[in-house]
Structure 1
Amino acid sequence: MEETRKKNRGKKRSRRMQRHRTSVLAVSAVIILLLAVVSVNSVTLKAQESEYETQIAELESQIDEEKSRSKQIDKLEEYVGTDEYIEDVAKDKLGLIHENEIIFRAQ
């Protein structure tokens, strides 16, 4: 009788060990799968980050260009308000001159 009990205990242990191994393998497989997914997403995010950094650099250079263009426009606006600009436009577009100026034309 005692031998039967020992055999039954041995079978139960064997079954438990088998279940334990299966559980450990299943958990290990899930962890490995999660690791693979996280790694792939990490690589994708790094590539996307690189693209964004390039885009940021381009936008910053455009901002600098627009700032310099804005300064040029401000200077032009100041120049347009002066008498010198009015005289230049009168000479170029209307052909007007001052009373004491002499015009030389090529023949």
Structure 2
Amino acid sequence: MDKMGKSRRKRKDRWGNRMTIIGITFVVFSLAVIVTIKGVTLKEKEREYELRLENLQAQVDKEEERSQKLEEYRVYVQTKQYIEEVAKQKLGLVNPDEILLKPSQRQ
């Protein structure tokens, strides 16, 4: 009987070892699946952030261009040419050496 007791114990130990290996394999497989899923979601977020960065960079470029145009306009507004142009258009003023020609009205 002593032999039968040892063989049963060995079978029981083998079954326990197999279950342990199956459990560890399941845990490792589950972790691999979770890491893969998280990796995919992180890649998607990375793409979204890259698109957002490109859009923001395009907006920055537009605003820099607009700022440059405004600076050029600010400099132009301070010139004598601009002042004369505004005086002619809005106030109807002319330089002393200019001659105004008016078209004759025919009836």
Question: How does the TM-score come out when normalised to structure 2?
Answer: 0.88
Aligned pair 1:32/2:29, yes or no?
yes
Match of 1:11 among 8, 11, 30: 8
TM superposition shift of 1:37 = 1.0
Instruction: Name the CA distance, whole Å, in 2 between partners of 1:83 and 1:70.
Output: 23
CA RMSD of aligned residues (A): 1.4
TM superposition shift of 1:105 = 4.5
Instruction: Name the CA distance, whole Å, in 1 between partners of 2:26 and 2:17.
Output: 14
Q: Which amino acid aligns with 1:17?
A: R
Instruction: Name the CA distance, whole Å, in 2 between partners of 1:44 and 1:105.
Output: 75
Q: Which residue of 2 aligns with 1:66?
A: 63
Task: List runs of 5+ in structure 2 lacking aligned partners.
Answer: none
Question: How does the TM-score come out when normalised to structure 1?
Answer: 0.88
How is 1:1-107 mapped onto 2 (pairs within 5 angstroms)?
A: 4-105=1-102
Instruction: Name the CA distance, whole Å, in 2 between partners of 1:100 and 1:35.
Output: 89
Inter-CA distance 14–105: structure 2 relative to 1 (3 Å threshold): farther
Instruction: Name the CA distance, whole Å, in 2 between partners of 1:102 and 1:15.
Output: 119
Inter-CA distance 29–69: structure 2 relative to 1 (3 Å threshold): same
TM superposition shift of 1:102 = 2.3
| 1:20-71 CA-partner distances (Å, limit 9, x unpaired) | 1111111111111111111111111111111111111111111111111111
Inter-CA distance 104–15: structure 2 relative to 1 (3 Å threshold): farther
Task: List runs of 5+ in structure 1 lacking aligned partners.
Answer: none
Instruction: Name the CA distance, whole Å, in 1 between partners of 2:15 and 2:28.
Output: 20
